[in-house]
Amino acid sequence: MIIKEDGTLDTASDVFAEGESFNITVKVKGYENDLVFTYTKKSEESSDYAPGDVNGDGNINVTDITKVAAHVKGKKILDEKGMKAADVNKDGNVNVTDIIRIAAHVKGKNLIK
C-alpha cells in the first residue's frame, strides 16, 4: 500500500486481501475516530466490455473493427469478453453483420447503445 503525496491511499498495486470484501482501518496516533474503509470486490458482471468495445479500452473505434474482422476471418480468435462485446446485435454469433454495425457506430451513423 502506498500513501501518495495528496494523502490518498493506493492499494491497486498489490492486493493483500482475499475474498469478497475486506476492511482497512486507518488510525492516527494521538487522535480519535478511527476510519474504517470497506472494500467489496467488483462483480464479474460489471467488468464486461461495453458492446462494440472489443478490446475493452473504453472506446469503440477502428481498432475494434480490426479485431472483429480478424476474428471473423479466423486469424485471431477473440477471448470470451471480446466475443460478448463483438456480438453487437446479440444474435449469438460474431460475424460480418457485427462488423458492419460497429463500423456504422465508428462513422457516427448508427450508434451502439
The nearest distance, CB 106 to Ca ion, in angstroms, is: 10
Please select the residue that binds Ca ion; options are 1, 15, 57, 96, rule is CB under 5 A: 57
- Between 51 and 53, name the residue whose CB sits nearer to Ca ion: 53
Residues 104, 110: Cα–Cα separation, whole Å: 5
What percentage of the chain's residues is helix, strand, coil (to nearest 5)? 30, 15, 60
Please select the residue that binds Ca ion; options are 65, 98, 99, 102, rule is CB under 5 A: 98
For the chain, the straight-line distance linking the first and the last C-alpha, in angstroms and rounded, comes to 38
Number of residues that bind Ca ion (CB under 5 A): 10
Site for Ca ion in 33-52 (CB under 5 A): none
Asked whether 65 and 55 are in contact (CB, 8 A), the reply is: no
Question: Applying CB under 5 A, does 79 fall inside the site for Ca ion?
Answer: no
